[in-house]
Amino acid sequence: MYYQIHSIVDMSTDKKEHIINTAIELFAVKGFEGTSIREIAAAAQVNLAMINYYFGSKEKLFESIVEYKASHSRGALEEVAADTSLTQMQKIEVIIQRHVDRLFANRHFHRVIFQEMVMTSRSALQESIICKIIYPNNQIITQIIQSGIDSGEFNRNADPQLCTVTIIGTINQIMSSKRFCNKMLNRDDDETYVPYEDDAFKQRFTNHMISIMQNHLLKQS
């Protein structure tokens, strides 16, 4: 009986997570405005009113998604940044690698976040996304580059802020649309090809990013 109670408590948490994960997929495909809570409820096979019951409103559901994911990914980059056994360039390399890994694996969620960041309306959402997710991560990268410049490891002409923009902008561009990605890679004839699931492409992309940053940041002998 205790276990029964326990499992029900879990079910409640599970249900929330279940709704969140369903919502992420739908938001990723159809956008925030384009997805109705009716669809989410239907897809998650829960009552329509449950969503407002749990999250309060559609916007708050979105914010819950942001909180949920932010809390699950926090500390990934800090660890690397704090690792004194690595050169700054090595840190950048590891961060690129991990970032690409993470985004390829969570591409649905990432697209949701990216879409809302791009949207000018719904300021509250944009604000929380930028402040809670995007900016903190970017700041870590910027500071590593700044440290590299200060220590003489990196080219003093490099622009730390814009280098960060290049790193995440390139990744975001790749993530922004499967169709765009395939078109660019001349794979648009193959509907079934998903670049984000192709390890070879992931390696190729990671190499490109690392190479770009090495060439730009490192002093040339």
Partner DNA sequence: GATGAATGAGAGTTCATTCAT
Partner DNA sequence: TATGAATGAACTCTCATTCAT
Q: Is 167 in the site for DNA (CB under 7 A)?
A: no
Helix axis angle for 107-118 and 88-105, nearest 10°, is 100
Start-to-end CA span in the chain (Å): 71
Q: Is 66 in the site for DNA (CB under 7 A)?
A: no
| CA nearest to 99, candidates 133, 62, 145 | 133
**CA atoms of 183 and 161, how far apart (whole Å):** 30
Q: What are phi and psi of 87, to 5 degrees?
A: -75, 165
User: Tokens 């410049």 appear where?
Assistant: 149
Q: Report the partner that residue 115 touches, choosing among DNA, a copy of itself, none (CB closer than 5 to 8 A by kind).
A: a copy of itself
Q: Is 15 in the site for DNA (CB under 7 A)?
A: yes
Q: What are phi and psi of 218, to 5 degrees?
A: -75, 140
Q: Report the partner that residue 161 touches, choosing among a copy of itself, DNA, none (CB closer than 5 to 8 A by kind).
A: a copy of itself
Provide the mask over 27-46, with x wherever binding to DNA is found by CB under 7 A and - wherever it is not: --------xxxxx------x
Contacting DNA (CB under 7 A), which of 8, 29, 118, 131?
8
Q: Which stretch binds a copy of itself (CB under 8 A): 40-48, 60-68, 83-91, 154-162?
A: 154-162
Residues that bind DNA (CB under 7 A): 4-5, 8, 11-12, 15, 35-39, 46-50, 52-54, 56-59
